[in-house]
A and B are shown apart, each in its own frame.
Chain A
Amino acid sequence: MANPLLEVKDLDVSYGDIHVLWDVSLSVEEGTIVALVGANGAGKTTLLKTVSGLMHARKGEITLSGEPIQHLRAQEIVDRGVIHVPEGRRLFASLTVMENLRLGAYLPRTRPLFAESLERVFSLFPVLKDRKEQKAGTLSGGEQQMLAIGRAVMAHPRLVMLDEPSLGLSPILVKTIFQLISTLNEQKTTILLVEQNVNQALKIAHQAYVLKNGKIVMCGRGCDLLVNEEVCKAYIGERARKPNG
């Protein structure tokens, strides 16, 4: 574990007076899938937003390949190859699939690689090729999620951060999306995955962190956490387990 791609150390984040993250530390090794799981409101999305520069920390350090990035603006962090696929996808609905993909490769750094990235996206998601000229808003939920991930791939990312990629998808599509995330990772893309679908997330993750009330309460290999009873408690919540809760 010599040189993690992304390292977060002792991160404190708050919205005004409301403290959301407390002393959060995690690291993402190059080429792995790291899952961040936890219940609603645990602070998962906040953590992603802080890494991508949409929010700023009170305290703590975020480094990318050893270089601190916590004071950079969102655009500069994107330019360094950290791509955030936000919850709810946020596609440009009235633009075509192709135009959305072109916007993914808008940065000067990514432009020369356009043709290569496009081929990669179309081989990962052949359905997008068939729907090239269609408006993004007319795609199905699963196709929209594929487009959102495809748009991130266009930016030639070093780290893709996916926020709830399974949100609002049918169970069969959830499975497909997780398979595609694994495939993407096999092509040497590092992934930080935030999920409420803990079961699926832990299955494909090399390393996982459990976030509860803004604190990391557990970490370990994905397959180890999957069989850990404490994990169930952490993400289902203790109230649910009490008989009269």
Chain B
Amino acid sequence: MAKSPSFIGSLKPAGPESLTNLVIIVLALVFFGTFLFYTDIDSIIVFYLFYCFIFIIIGQGWNIVAGYTGQISLGSHAFFGIGAYTTAIIWLRDITHTWYFFDPLVMFLSGLAAAVFAVIIGIPILSRLRGDYFSFATLAAAQVFTVLVLRGGKLTEGAMGLRIPGTLFEDLGIYYWTGLLLAILATAAVFFVTRSRLGLALRAISEDEMSAASHGISVLRYKLIAFAIGAFIIGVGGNLYAYYIFSISPPAVLNLNWLFYPILVCILGGNGTIGGPVIGGFVVGAIVVFSETLIGRVHPMVSGVLIILVMKFLPTGLIGLKAKVFQRH
């Protein structure tokens, strides 16, 4: 995968570039933090931004594995589905005895369930396979999970899926705020992980596994940790989406869109960078939300053409544009 030409948070002394980054971050936080106070809550823009936040969350979850360990996971939809199903099952079976609607505990458990699944499939897959074969194996594991859900009997209600009480919906306010918070947290998580010792080990692994191992880095363990963190983040994204659709079924949360969206987000925005998935999230959000309302069912074609164009002309993603601008000065 493309290596980062410049990503927010490399250990460089504060220069004009990191100052620009800081200004952009502060402006963005102020803008999104006050946006609802001067916007009609029922506007499509709020709906659009909610979708963007989901895309940023799952994009960051995929980014930490693909961008920083070089392993292309094709199992995101399983993690997303596990997050959504865990939310519904905990709620409907009254497991935690808490307030289930936007309940932090349920959110956490949804992410945790996805992370546990990632560890279970990750140990055999990551210890044996790498590269393309890792990708195929994650896809296969996700499809096995889909079948299990379809055959899940009373627990998952098969193809019908589970319904959580939709009467709690008032307006998009809480969706917006929670989405914004989680998108910030997911981005911050990737930022801090990649700047830590763990991040250094991950980047060494993505560069040269043998050489990393010869420095005493336990390759399997670190890959597994990254895989589990990524799954956790995507699982929380599934939880948020479950609160929005209320009907959790395989066609809604386990369809292959949830496999492609995070990849699109990262490739368009810039894989292996902190800011890339944020930019990618807004772009993919626009494609999905606006082209769906404007041109209906052809929007997958739009995103397909766009991804080809970006890979052809901007292999480092849209965030690569910024590096190009800075190189010229």
Question: A and B, one complex?
Answer: yes
Chain A residues with a Cβ closer than 8 Å to the other chain, count: 25
Closest to B3 in A: A94
Instruction: Establish whether residues A95 and B203, one from each chain, have CB atoms under 8 Å apart when the complex forms.
Output: yes
Instruction: Establish whether residues A95 and B207, one from each chain, have CB atoms under 8 Å apart when the complex forms.
Output: yes
B197-239 residues at the A interface, CB under 8 angstroms: 197, 200-201, 203-204, 207-208, 210-218
Complex CA gap A96/B4 in Å reads 12
Is A75 an interface residue when CB atoms closer than 8 A count as contact?
yes
Is A106 an interface residue when CB atoms closer than 8 A count as contact?
yes
Instruction: Establish whether residues B12 and A155, one from each chain, have CB atoms under 8 Å apart when the complex forms.
Output: no
Measured between C-beta atoms, what is the minimum distance from A73 to chain B in Å? 9
Instruction: Establish whether residues A74 and B11, one from each chain, have CB atoms under 8 Å apart when the complex forms.
Output: no
Q: Which of A78, A95, A98, A99 contacts B214 (CB 8 A)?
A: A78
Measured between C-beta atoms, what is the minimum distance from A15 to chain B in Å? 17
Chain B, interface size: which category?
A: 20 to 34
Instruction: Establish whether residues A106 and B216, one from each chain, have CB atoms under 8 Å apart when the complex forms.
Output: yes
Complex CA gap A106/B215 in Å reads 7
Complex CA gap A14/B217 in Å reads 27
Closest to A98 in B: B11
Closest to A79 in B: B216
A67-93 residues at the B interface, CB under 8 angstroms: 74-75, 78-79, 84, 86, 90-93
Closest to A52 in B: B214
Closest to B207 in A: A92
Measured between C-beta atoms, what is the minimum distance from B271 to chain A in Å? 13
A218 / chain B contacts, CB cutoff of 8 Å: none
- In the complex, per-residue mask of B1-38: 1 if CB is within 8 Å of any chain A CB, else 0: 00110000001110000000000000000000000000
Given A103-B200, A133-B12, A93 contacting B216 (CB threshold 8 A): no
Q: List 8 A-B contacts (CB under 8 A).
A: A52-B214, A75-B216, A78-B215, A84-B214, A86-B211, A90-B211, A92-B212, A106-B197
In the complex, given contacts A74-B214, A95-B207, A133-B12, what are 8 additional A-B residue pairs having Cβ atoms less than 8 angstroms apart?
A52-B214, A75-B213, A75-B214, A94-B4, A103-B204, A106-B201, A106-B215, A151-B215
